[in-house]
Amino acid sequence: MVQIRMRKLFFLYIAISTVAFIWFYSSCGFPECKEKEIEHLIKKYKARNKELDKKISDLSQQLQGCQKNVMSSGRTEFSHSPIIYMVTPTHTHSEQKANLVRLSHTLLHVKNIHWIVVEDSVSKTVLVSKFLQNSGVKNTHLAALTPHEIKMKYNDPTWLKPKGVLQRNAALQWIRENVKPNRDGGVVYFADDDNTYSLEIFQEMRNTKKVTVWPVGLVGGLRYEKPVVKDGKVTGWFTYWKPNRPFPMDMAGFAVNVNLFFKFPDARFSNEVPRGFLESTILEQLNVKMEDLEPRAENCSKVLVWHTRTEKTKLKNEQLMIKQHGQGSDTNIEV
């Protein structure tokens, strides 16, 4: 009997204890514990957020430092390598800033380059001035206006008239007035703002002795145009359009040692030359011969620059917006 009672009391004790524990946990302990746990998690979350904010701030400062280093590269630690003076004519149009931004992002990766941007304008515009100030690329900003009578009209075909003539000449004048060839040395390259450039092309041209040449892609109605090379020497040209020109190649297909522009101080581009002869005329004025040409890009077997063109943007809906709503897009927003 005593054994049975003890067993009953034991089971009763267990049952009461279990019920009491469940009641205490559910009605008293659980909410308080849960609330404290939530408070603890919130404090932990806030502390973690604070740590992450500080880490983000530190990383942002490091990134800014890296950007400054990228911007200054090519002007200090790489000062021993020849400078590339890259001449880019540009004119006011809807896609101008987009073209310049894209090109500048390529140039940020090129060491020891000096970008000479010349606007087809009476004076330097605010848009291009602001852009160049923030581009991170060492630059010189000039302006040279093309006379109205020889200027391309908006709907003219791209081949109708020579483009960028006076702008390139303004850049050559600046080079002759500001560069000390015996001290500075360097290479002159004429680069349109909407072409596409591999980083390799800049290394290929950097050690130009006289004139370096290479293929250009997507030009002349062909997949590429190129010098024909035999035994390391240029012997002819792969081109379809006017192959009898002295140097039947695109402006993007060659670079010139800066000393030549001092040796021949009157050499300049001209609006009077026949269509397609800008390149030939300037090289002839520099007394360049076929045997002077230095083939690059693996004996002119690789395309490292493309004569791409930015499509003209159709903005006809601007006028429709004005007609329908009384105003178009905000002209204070720079595009």
**Cβ proximity of 173 and 232 under 8 Å:** no
Q: Could you tell me the two tokens for 81?
A: 């390598």
Spell out the residues 6+ positions from residue 288 whose beta carbon is closer than 8 angstroms to its own: 210, 211, 247, 260
Q: Are strands 305-306 and 196-197 parallel, antiparallel or unpaired?
A: antiparallel
User: Can you count the helices (H) and strands (E) in the chain?
Assistant: 11, 12
CA distance 64 to 57: 11
**Quick one: angle between helices 126-133 and 96-107, nearest 10?**
20
Please report where in the chains the tokens 């892609």 appear, as a residue: 217
**Continuous segment of H or E residues that includes residue 281:** helix 278-285
Given the residues 119, 204, 225, 279, the one annotated as active site: 279
Rounded Cα gap, residues 66 and 108, in angstroms: 12
Per the annotation, binding residues are 194
Whether the Cβ atoms of residue 262 and residue 268 lie closer than 8 Å to each other: no
> Which residues participate in the annotated binding site for Mn(2+)?
194
Half-sphere exposure at residue 121, Cβ-oriented, CA atoms within 13 angstroms: 18
Token code pair at residue 318: 């601007």
State which amino acid sits at residue 224. Y
User: Do residues 205 and 306 lie in contact, with contact meaning Cβ atoms separated by under 8 Å?
Assistant: no
CA distance 41 to 146: 69
Tokens in use for 203? Answer: 């290394």
Is-catalytic flag, 119?
Answer: no
Asked if 226 and 216 touch (Cβ cutoff 8 Å), the reply is yes
The total number of residues written for the chain in this structure: 335
Q: Which of the residues are catalytic?
A: 279
